[in-house]
Amino acid sequence: MRKKLVKPTFAKGYKQILGANVHELKEVKGVNGVLDDGHIVKLNDLQVIPKPKEEQKIEPSKVEKVEKEAKVEKVLKSVGIDQSNAVEGKRQRKKKEVFDL
């Protein structure tokens, strides 16, 4: 089962409707269901999917990747940094020099 994501009231654009995590339905109580992680959700907010094969890793959707890249480009453009000059990866910090007095 995949559960429905909560959407903000005035959200714009396309957002993923269902979560990427796969859960098991443990118990049914009326119109609600109890998932394996303990959350109680309405049965209408669940999507039935086939059980994944042994620890099948779910990759993030292409939309999420594109949104992240667009956000980075927008920030770089607002600061005035050219995309070709941006450094990929983590910044290497210099070790602090401590002098004994």
Kindly report, residue by residue over 8-20, the tens digit of the pLDDT: 778 777 777 777 7
Calculate the alpha carbon distances from 8 to 5, 13, 95 in Å: 10, 12, 44
Report d(CA 25, CA 36) in Å as an integer: 6
Average pLDDT over residues 10-31: 81
pLDDT score of 68: 86
Judge whether 76 and 69 are in contact, CB under 8 Å: no
Express each pLDDT in 40-52 by its tens digit: 989 888 888 877 6
Our measurement of the distance from residue 71's CA atom to the centroid of its chain's CA atoms, rounded to an integer in Å, reads 15
